[in-house]
Amino acid sequence: MSSFRYLATGDSFKTVSYSYRLGHATVCQIVCETCQVIVNTLMKEVMPEPSQEQWKAIAEDFWNIWNFPNCIGAMD
């Protein structure tokens, strides 16, 4: 539960450790393990790996809309 509280509220490890009477390092370990399980479980569903055709379509969209050749993504 401590990891979900940390992820849901944005509380600090210190606050969560006091609330659950756990050590700071224990809370850190629990949160890290929980995040890893979430990533391993949901990554392929939430962020599937694009096929070669999808990569080509993405690059074509960047070229057509923004005039960026050979581009498949952008970061803000």
Examine residue 73 and state whether it is found in any structural domain, yes or no.
no
Q: How confident is the model at residue 66 (pLDDT cuts 50, 70, 90)?
A: very high
Q: State mean pLDDT over 43-67.
A: 93
For the stretch 9-50, pLDDT in tens is 888 888 888 888 999 899 889 999 999 999 999 998 998 889
Which domain range does residue 62 map to? 2-66
Examine residue 47 and state whether it is found in any structural domain, yes or no.
yes
Q: What is the pTM of this model?
A: 0.60
Tell me: pLDDT of 1 over 70: no
Residues with Cβ within 8 Å of residue 72, at least 6 apart in sequence:
55, 58, 59, 62
Examine residue 38 and state whether it is found in any structural domain, yes or no.
yes
C-alpha triplet 1, 40, 26: angle, nearest 5°: 35
Tell me: pLDDT of 75 over 90: no
